[in-house]
Amino acid sequence: MNSDPHAKPPTPTGGVADLATADPREHIEPGEAQRPMTMSYVLFLCAFFAWGGYYTQRYSADYGALSYDENAGIGSGKVVAAKPVDPYVLGKRLFENVCAKCHQPDGLGLPGQYPPLVGSEWAQAAGPARMIRIALDGLQGPVTVKGLAFNNNMTPHRDALNDQQIAAILTYVRTQKEWGHKASPVAPEEVAAIRAKTKDRAALGSWTAAELLALPEHEPKP
């Protein structure tokens, strides 16, 4: 059995303790008289309060109602250039989060509901002109993909995705390695050009397969 449960630190009998109780008018530090608060503990407290004040002042973006970025005032000033992301990687991310919802992560779509992209002649067309239009303003009515008939509505992504994103997605789909796609990648400028050219298309509704097949695969240079 170990020794007495726990040795109570010796309380100062004479000296300071008696003095304190003797003369209440004299201002006494709380707790100091009986048992000296260990200095390390006091430093522990002060360290925290100091850090707290510093952190609050530094990361509160001077308490603005509309300042959400805690590093607003403090940034090193130079705008760190966003490192360019490889379109294939960006396209893969966006495909998985946006397009995969209907065309499925494996790109095979749902029979009778959502057309497949793997080995689809639309996705492997020489020029991206039709795909860009589909991505921008959607597709409606009957369409045959790999000989299978579909009749569903593809929703427009004109204001959901910007040019760089659409270009990245189309580049990814057209050059998907596992699917063995070897079509040409798409540049954001091409998407921008077609977006400008078809800016009133949104009001007319989505493309139909017939309209698209009538258009050339490569967008004629203006």
Partner 1 sequence: MSATSPSILRALSPADSGDEVQQRALLAEIDASCRGTLMLFFGASVVWLLIGTAFALITSWKMHSPNFLADISWLAFGRVRPAHLNAVVLGFASEAAIGVTLWLMCRLGRVPLMHAWMVNIAGVFWNVGLAIGIGGILAGDSTGIEWLEIPGYASPLLFVTYALIAIWGIIAFRFRREKHLYVSQWYLLGALFWFPWLYSAAQILLIMEPVRGVVQAAVNWWFGHNVLGLWFTPIGIAAIYYFIPKVLGVPVYKYSLSVIGFWSLALFYNWNGMHHLVGGPLPAWLITVSIVASVMMTIPVITVGLNHHFTMWGHFHKLKDSPVLRFMVFGGMSYTVTSLHGILLALRSVSEVTHFTHSTIAHAHQGLYAFFVMVMFGAIYYIVPRIVQVEWPSARLIRIHFWATAIGIMLYIVPLTIGGTLQGFAMINPDVPFLDLNKYSVVTMTVPYLKMRSFSGFVILVGHLAFATSFVWIVARWIKAARRPQPAQIASHA
Partner 2 sequence: MLFVSSVIVLPVAALWALRWAVRHGEFKNLDKTALSIFDDEEPVGRMTDRFPDAPRNSKPSRS
Partner 3 sequence: MNYGPIIFLGIFLTIASSWLGLVLAPQIQFGRQQEIKIEETGEVYPPVRPGLAQQGMEIYKANGCIYCHTQQVRTEGYGADIARNWGQRRTVTRDYLHDKPVMLGTMRTGPDLTNIGVRQTSVLWHLQHLYDPQITSKGSIMPPFRFLFEKRKAGDKPSPDALALPKEFAPEAGFEIVPKQEAKVLVQYLLSLKANAPLPEAK
Binding residues for partner 3 (CB under 8 A): 65-69, 93-94, 97-98, 101-102, 104, 110-113, 152-153, 155-157, 159-161, 165
Instruction: Report the residue number, 100 or 148, with the smaller CB distance to partner 1.
Output: 100
Residue 158 interacting entry, from partner 2, partner 3, partner 1, none, C-beta within 5 to 8 Å by type: none
- Choose between 20 and 202: whose C-beta lies nearer to partner 2: 20
Among residues 35 and 58, whose Cβ is nearest to partner 2? 35
Total count of residues recorded for the chain: 222
Residue 96: DSSP 8-state: I
Give 71's contacts (C-beta < 8 A, 6+ positions apart). Answer: 59, 61
Contact set with partner 2 (CB under 8 A): 11, 20-21, 24, 27-28, 30-31, 33-35
Our CB check for partner 3 shows the closer of 26 and 159 to be 159
Closest CA to 127 of 187, 177, 87: 187
Nearest to 209 by CA among 130, 132, 155, 112: 130
Nearest to 21 by CA among 12, 11, 33: 33
Six-digit token string for 175: 């050059």
> Of the two residues 13 and 40, which places its CB atom closer to partner 1 in the complex?
40
Cβ–Cβ under 8 Å, residues 163 and 105: no
**What is the rounded distance in angstroms from the CA atom of residue 108 to the CA atom of residue 105?**
8
Instruction: Give the shortest CB-182-to-partner 3 separation in angstroms.
Output: 27
135: tokens are: 């991505």
Least distance in Å: CB of 212 to partner 1?
A: 29
Report whether 218 contacts 127 (CB < 8 A): yes
- Interface residue with partner 1, options 16, 35, 197, 217 (CB under 8 A): 35
Which of 14, 24 has the CB closer to partner 2? 24
d(CA 82, CA 164): 14
- Residue 75 lies near partner 1 (rule: CB under 8 A): no
Rounded to a whole number of angstroms, the minimum distance from the CB of residue 57 to partner 3 is 15
In 146-218, DSSP assigns E strands to 148-151, 207-208
User: Which of 18, 21, 44, 144 touches partner 1 (CB under 8 A)?
Assistant: 44
- Distance between first and last Cα of the chain: 96
One residue of 68, 79, 82, 203 binding partner 1 per CB under 8 A: 68
Rounded to an integer, what distance in angstroms lies between the CA atom of residue 179 and that of residue 90? 17
Q: Which residues bind partner 1 (CB under 8 A)?
A: 2, 5-6, 30-31, 34-35, 37, 44-45, 48-49, 51-52, 55-56, 59-61, 63-70, 72, 89, 92-93, 96-97, 100, 105-106
